[in-house]
Amino acid sequence: MAKLPPSLRIFAIFSVFLFVLVGMDGINRDYPNKGFIKEAVGHLLVVVTAVVVGAVLLWIVEEATKAHLAPAIREGLATLARDVKEEVGKFPKSWQGITEVIARQLNFVQDEEARQLAREGKIKEAAAKVEARPADEIAILLQSTKPEDWKRAADLWAKAGRRPPQDGLSLAFLYWRAGQIGEAIRIAEAALSACTAKDGDALWKLQNSLAYYYAETGDHIHEQKAREYVAAARAAVPERSEPIDTEAYVKISFASTREEVRAGIAIAQRAYQLGVPVESFTKNVAKANEMLQRLS
Protein backbone atom coordinates (compact mmCIF):
# COMPACT_ATOMS: atom_id res chain seq x y z
CA MET A 1 0.00 0.00 0.00
CA ALA A 2 1.31 3.44 -0.94
CA LYS A 3 2.49 5.48 2.00
CA LEU A 4 0.66 8.77 2.55
CA PRO A 5 2.80 11.91 2.56
CA PRO A 6 3.45 13.35 6.05
CA SER A 7 1.09 16.29 5.60
CA LEU A 8 -1.85 14.04 4.66
CA ARG A 9 -1.15 11.77 7.63
CA ILE A 10 -1.21 14.86 9.89
CA PHE A 11 -4.40 16.01 8.20
CA ALA A 12 -6.10 12.63 8.67
CA ILE A 13 -5.14 12.34 12.33
CA PHE A 14 -6.24 15.83 13.29
CA SER A 15 -9.41 15.60 11.19
CA VAL A 16 -10.43 12.72 13.44
CA PHE A 17 -9.62 14.84 16.49
CA LEU A 18 -11.64 17.70 15.05
CA PHE A 19 -14.60 15.36 14.44
CA VAL A 20 -14.43 14.16 18.04
CA LEU A 21 -14.27 17.73 19.36
CA VAL A 22 -17.26 18.78 17.28
CA GLY A 23 -19.13 15.84 18.77
CA MET A 24 -18.09 16.97 22.23
CA ASP A 25 -19.38 20.43 21.44
CA GLY A 26 -22.72 18.90 20.46
CA ILE A 27 -22.87 17.00 23.74
CA ASN A 28 -22.21 20.23 25.60
CA ARG A 29 -25.12 21.92 23.85
CA ASP A 30 -27.48 19.03 24.60
CA TYR A 31 -26.26 18.60 28.17
CA PRO A 32 -25.34 22.03 29.53
CA ASN A 33 -24.43 20.60 32.92
CA LYS A 34 -21.22 19.25 31.41
CA GLY A 35 -19.43 22.49 32.23
CA PHE A 36 -15.95 21.08 32.02
CA ILE A 37 -16.48 20.37 28.29
CA LYS A 38 -17.62 23.90 27.67
CA GLU A 39 -14.38 25.35 29.00
CA ALA A 40 -12.11 23.12 26.91
CA VAL A 41 -13.85 22.74 23.56
CA GLY A 42 -13.32 26.29 22.29
CA HIS A 43 -9.57 26.29 22.89
CA LEU A 44 -9.07 22.78 21.51
CA LEU A 45 -10.99 23.59 18.35
CA VAL A 46 -8.72 26.57 17.67
CA VAL A 47 -5.56 24.50 18.14
CA VAL A 48 -6.75 21.58 16.03
CA THR A 49 -8.04 23.85 13.29
CA ALA A 50 -4.65 25.62 13.15
CA VAL A 51 -2.85 22.29 12.75
CA VAL A 52 -5.28 21.11 10.07
CA VAL A 53 -4.74 24.34 8.14
CA GLY A 54 -1.00 23.90 8.49
CA ALA A 55 -1.25 20.35 7.16
CA VAL A 56 -3.24 21.54 4.16
CA LEU A 57 -0.61 24.21 3.45
CA LEU A 58 2.09 21.55 3.65
CA TRP A 59 0.14 19.38 1.23
CA ILE A 60 -0.13 22.26 -1.26
CA VAL A 61 3.61 22.84 -1.05
CA GLU A 62 4.38 19.12 -1.47
CA GLU A 63 2.10 18.63 -4.46
CA ALA A 64 3.18 21.83 -6.20
CA THR A 65 6.80 20.92 -5.62
CA LYS A 66 6.53 17.37 -6.91
CA ALA A 67 4.54 18.31 -9.97
CA HIS A 68 6.20 21.44 -11.20
CA LEU A 69 9.08 23.05 -9.39
CA ALA A 70 12.79 22.73 -10.02
CA PRO A 71 15.00 20.64 -7.67
CA ALA A 72 16.85 23.68 -6.34
CA ILE A 73 13.58 25.25 -5.26
CA ARG A 74 12.42 21.95 -3.73
CA GLU A 75 15.34 22.12 -1.31
CA GLY A 76 14.20 25.53 -0.15
CA LEU A 77 10.62 24.32 0.23
CA ALA A 78 11.79 21.42 2.39
CA THR A 79 13.05 23.99 4.87
CA LEU A 80 9.75 25.85 4.58
CA ALA A 81 7.78 22.68 5.33
CA ARG A 82 9.66 22.25 8.61
CA ASP A 83 9.04 25.88 9.50
CA VAL A 84 5.32 25.58 8.77
CA LYS A 85 4.98 22.93 11.48
CA GLU A 86 6.32 25.44 14.00
CA GLU A 87 4.28 28.36 12.69
CA VAL A 88 0.77 26.87 12.41
CA GLY A 89 -0.06 27.81 15.98
CA LYS A 90 1.08 31.42 15.47
CA PHE A 91 -0.81 32.43 12.30
CA PRO A 92 -2.47 35.55 13.72
CA LYS A 93 0.85 36.95 14.94
CA SER A 94 2.22 37.39 11.44
CA TRP A 95 -0.39 40.04 10.73
CA GLN A 96 0.14 42.05 13.90
CA GLY A 97 2.57 44.44 12.26
CA ILE A 98 -0.10 45.85 9.92
CA THR A 99 -2.83 46.12 12.52
CA GLU A 100 -0.46 47.67 15.05
CA VAL A 101 0.33 50.49 12.62
CA ILE A 102 -3.39 51.30 12.54
CA ALA A 103 -3.69 50.95 16.32
CA ARG A 104 -0.78 53.33 16.86
CA GLN A 105 -2.68 56.06 15.03
CA LEU A 106 -4.81 56.33 18.17
CA ASN A 107 -1.78 57.75 19.98
CA PHE A 108 -2.21 60.99 18.05
CA VAL A 109 -5.81 61.50 19.18
CA GLN A 110 -5.84 64.46 21.58
CA ASP A 111 -8.82 63.42 23.70
CA GLU A 112 -7.70 60.81 26.24
CA GLU A 113 -11.25 59.62 26.95
CA ALA A 114 -11.91 59.14 23.23
CA ARG A 115 -8.71 57.10 22.92
CA GLN A 116 -9.80 54.83 25.76
CA LEU A 117 -13.29 54.37 24.34
CA ALA A 118 -11.82 53.41 20.97
CA ARG A 119 -9.52 50.86 22.59
CA GLU A 120 -12.58 49.36 24.28
CA GLY A 121 -14.28 49.02 20.90
CA LYS A 122 -16.79 51.83 21.55
CA ILE A 123 -16.11 53.48 18.21
CA LYS A 124 -19.35 55.44 17.88
CA GLU A 125 -18.99 57.03 21.31
CA ALA A 126 -15.31 57.80 20.75
CA ALA A 127 -15.90 59.37 17.34
CA ALA A 128 -18.68 61.56 18.74
CA LYS A 129 -16.23 63.13 21.17
CA VAL A 130 -13.87 64.32 18.42
CA GLU A 131 -16.27 65.33 15.65
CA ALA A 132 -14.70 68.79 15.54
CA ARG A 133 -11.31 67.28 14.69
CA PRO A 134 -11.53 65.21 11.47
CA ALA A 135 -7.99 63.83 11.79
CA ASP A 136 -8.78 62.41 15.23
CA GLU A 137 -12.12 61.05 14.07
CA ILE A 138 -10.44 59.26 11.17
CA ALA A 139 -7.89 57.68 13.51
CA ILE A 140 -10.73 56.38 15.68
CA LEU A 141 -12.87 55.13 12.80
CA LEU A 142 -9.92 53.16 11.45
CA GLN A 143 -10.11 50.99 14.57
CA SER A 144 -13.58 49.80 13.58
CA THR A 145 -14.49 46.49 11.93
CA LYS A 146 -17.59 48.00 10.30
CA PRO A 147 -17.50 49.12 6.63
CA GLU A 148 -19.85 52.01 7.40
CA ASP A 149 -17.23 53.45 9.74
CA TRP A 150 -14.55 53.06 7.07
CA LYS A 151 -16.86 54.86 4.64
CA ARG A 152 -17.21 57.75 7.09
CA ALA A 153 -13.41 57.84 7.52
CA ALA A 154 -12.90 57.74 3.74
CA ASP A 155 -15.32 60.65 3.23
CA LEU A 156 -13.57 62.72 5.91
CA TRP A 157 -10.18 61.90 4.43
CA ALA A 158 -11.30 62.81 0.89
CA LYS A 159 -12.57 66.21 2.10
CA ALA A 160 -9.41 67.06 4.02
CA GLY A 161 -7.29 69.87 2.60
CA ARG A 162 -4.14 67.85 3.29
CA ARG A 163 -4.89 64.14 2.95
CA PRO A 164 -2.34 62.17 5.02
CA PRO A 165 -1.19 59.24 2.86
CA GLN A 166 -0.90 56.99 5.93
CA ASP A 167 -4.66 57.26 6.46
CA GLY A 168 -5.23 56.29 2.84
CA LEU A 169 -2.81 53.38 3.18
CA SER A 170 -4.64 52.12 6.27
CA LEU A 171 -8.07 52.52 4.71
CA ALA A 172 -7.00 50.69 1.56
CA PHE A 173 -5.65 47.83 3.64
CA LEU A 174 -8.93 47.51 5.59
CA TYR A 175 -10.96 47.34 2.38
CA TRP A 176 -8.51 44.87 0.81
CA ARG A 177 -8.66 42.62 3.88
CA ALA A 178 -12.47 42.70 3.64
CA GLY A 179 -12.30 41.60 0.00
CA GLN A 180 -13.34 44.96 -1.46
CA ILE A 181 -10.33 45.24 -3.74
CA GLY A 182 -11.85 47.82 -6.07
CA GLU A 183 -12.35 50.26 -3.20
CA ALA A 184 -8.89 49.45 -1.86
CA ILE A 185 -7.34 50.35 -5.21
CA ARG A 186 -9.37 53.55 -5.53
CA ILE A 187 -8.29 54.82 -2.11
CA ALA A 188 -4.66 53.74 -2.49
CA GLU A 189 -4.40 55.51 -5.87
CA ALA A 190 -5.84 58.69 -4.32
CA ALA A 191 -3.37 58.44 -1.44
CA LEU A 192 -0.48 57.92 -3.83
CA SER A 193 -1.45 61.00 -5.83
CA ALA A 194 -1.42 63.01 -2.58
CA CYS A 195 2.10 61.89 -1.63
CA THR A 196 4.93 64.40 -1.47
CA ALA A 197 8.63 64.13 -0.74
CA LYS A 198 7.84 64.81 2.93
CA ASP A 199 5.79 61.64 3.30
CA GLY A 200 8.78 59.31 3.52
CA ASP A 201 7.91 55.63 3.67
CA ALA A 202 4.28 56.19 2.68
CA LEU A 203 5.27 56.51 -1.00
CA TRP A 204 6.93 53.11 -1.41
CA LYS A 205 4.38 51.42 0.85
CA LEU A 206 1.53 52.70 -1.32
CA GLN A 207 3.33 51.64 -4.48
CA ASN A 208 3.94 48.22 -3.00
CA SER A 209 0.33 47.85 -1.84
CA LEU A 210 -1.09 48.93 -5.19
CA ALA A 211 1.15 46.50 -7.08
CA TYR A 212 -0.14 43.67 -4.87
CA TYR A 213 -3.78 44.72 -5.19
CA TYR A 214 -3.49 44.94 -8.96
CA ALA A 215 -1.88 41.49 -9.11
CA GLU A 216 -4.74 40.08 -7.03
CA THR A 217 -7.26 41.23 -9.64
CA GLY A 218 -5.50 39.08 -12.23
CA ASP A 219 -6.61 41.58 -14.86
CA HIS A 220 -3.86 42.20 -17.40
CA ILE A 221 -5.13 45.73 -17.91
CA HIS A 222 -3.36 46.46 -14.59
CA GLU A 223 -0.19 44.51 -15.37
CA GLN A 224 2.00 47.42 -16.50
CA LYS A 225 1.11 49.56 -13.49
CA ALA A 226 1.67 46.66 -11.10
CA ARG A 227 5.14 46.02 -12.52
CA GLU A 228 6.03 49.73 -12.49
CA TYR A 229 4.86 50.23 -8.91
CA VAL A 230 6.69 47.23 -7.49
CA ALA A 231 9.87 48.16 -9.37
CA ALA A 232 9.68 51.66 -7.85
CA ALA A 233 9.09 50.24 -4.36
CA ARG A 234 12.04 47.87 -4.67
CA ALA A 235 14.30 50.66 -5.88
CA ALA A 236 13.28 52.82 -2.91
CA VAL A 237 13.98 50.17 -0.25
CA PRO A 238 16.06 47.39 -1.82
CA GLU A 239 16.81 45.85 1.59
CA ARG A 240 13.13 45.41 2.60
CA SER A 241 11.45 42.03 2.13
CA GLU A 242 7.92 43.31 1.43
CA PRO A 243 8.54 44.64 -2.11
CA ILE A 244 10.51 41.48 -2.93
CA ASP A 245 7.52 39.37 -1.90
CA THR A 246 5.20 41.60 -3.93
CA GLU A 247 7.48 41.36 -6.97
CA ALA A 248 7.19 37.57 -6.74
CA TYR A 249 3.41 37.73 -6.57
CA VAL A 250 3.20 40.16 -9.48
CA LYS A 251 5.55 38.05 -11.61
CA ILE A 252 3.62 34.87 -10.87
CA SER A 253 0.15 36.39 -11.29
CA PHE A 254 0.93 37.94 -14.68
CA ALA A 255 3.24 35.18 -15.94
CA SER A 256 2.96 34.22 -19.58
CA THR A 257 5.43 31.31 -19.40
CA ARG A 258 6.24 28.53 -16.98
CA GLU A 259 9.78 29.87 -16.70
CA GLU A 260 8.46 33.20 -15.42
CA VAL A 261 6.41 31.38 -12.79
CA ARG A 262 9.50 29.53 -11.59
CA ALA A 263 11.45 32.78 -11.51
CA GLY A 264 8.69 34.26 -9.37
CA ILE A 265 8.94 31.37 -6.89
CA ALA A 266 12.70 31.89 -6.64
CA ILE A 267 12.07 35.55 -5.76
CA ALA A 268 9.41 34.52 -3.23
CA GLN A 269 11.88 32.15 -1.60
CA ARG A 270 14.34 35.01 -1.18
CA ALA A 271 11.64 37.17 0.42
CA TYR A 272 10.80 34.35 2.82
CA GLN A 273 14.45 34.03 3.80
CA LEU A 274 14.45 37.78 4.51
CA GLY A 275 11.52 37.46 6.90
CA VAL A 276 8.12 37.69 5.17
CA PRO A 277 5.46 35.56 6.91
CA VAL A 278 5.27 31.91 5.93
CA GLU A 279 1.66 32.50 4.83
CA SER A 280 2.83 34.94 2.17
CA PHE A 281 5.29 32.43 0.77
CA THR A 282 2.71 29.64 0.80
CA LYS A 283 0.26 31.92 -1.04
CA ASN A 284 2.90 32.48 -3.72
CA VAL A 285 3.44 28.72 -4.02
CA ALA A 286 -0.28 28.07 -4.36
CA LYS A 287 -0.59 30.83 -6.98
CA ALA A 288 2.41 29.40 -8.85
CA ASN A 289 0.81 25.96 -8.90
CA GLU A 290 -2.42 27.48 -10.26
CA MET A 291 -0.56 29.36 -12.99
CA LEU A 292 1.54 26.35 -13.95
CA GLN A 293 -1.62 24.27 -14.36
CA ARG A 294 -3.15 27.01 -16.48
CA LEU A 295 -0.08 27.47 -18.65
CA SER A 296 0.26 23.74 -19.26
Interval 230-281: pLDDT, tens = 999 999 999 999 999 999 999 999 999 999 999 999 999 999 999 999 999 9
Whether residue 192 sits in one domain with residue 125: yes
Whether residue 258 sits in one domain with residue 184: yes
Whether residue 114 sits in one domain with residue 63: no
pLDDT at 20: 47
pLDDT at 72: 47
The per-residue DSSP string of 15-56 comes to: HHHHHHHHHHHHHHHH-TT-HHHHHHHHHHHHHHHHHHHHHH
Q: What does each of the 296 residues of the chain score in pLDDT, given as a tens digit?
A: 555 555 555 555 555 555 544 454 544 444 333 433 344 444 444 444 554 555 555 555 555 545 555 554 555 555 554 454 444 333 333 334 567 778 888 888 999 999 999 999 999 999 999 999 999 999 999 999 999 999 999 999 999 877 889 899 999 999 999 999 999 999 999 999 988 878 888 999 999 999 999 999 999 999 999 999 999 999 999 999 999 999 999 999 999 999 999 999 999 999 999 999 999 999 999 999 999 999 98
Cα 196 to chain centroid distance, Å, stands at 27
Answer yes or no: is 66 within a domain.
yes
pLDDT at 192: 94
Of 41, 66, 96, the last residue of a domain is 96
| CB of 267 closer than 8 Å to CB of 254 | no
Task: Return the percent helix, strand and coil in the chain, to nearest 5.
Answer: 80, 0, 20
pLDDT at 4: 55
166-184 per-position pLDDT tens digit: 899 999 999 999 999 999 9
Whether residue 170 sits in one domain with residue 57: no
Q: What is the number of domains present in the chain?
A: 2
Domain range enclosing 168: 97-295
Whether residue 176 sits in one domain with residue 42: no
Whether residue 102 sits in one domain with residue 226: yes
pLDDT at 58: 55
CA distances from 177 to 127, 167, 184, 216, 288 (A): 23, 15, 9, 12, 21
pLDDT at 42: 47
The amino acid present at 156, given as its one-letter code, is L
Of 47, 64, 96, the last residue of a domain is 96
Of 96, 118, 140, the last residue of a domain is 96
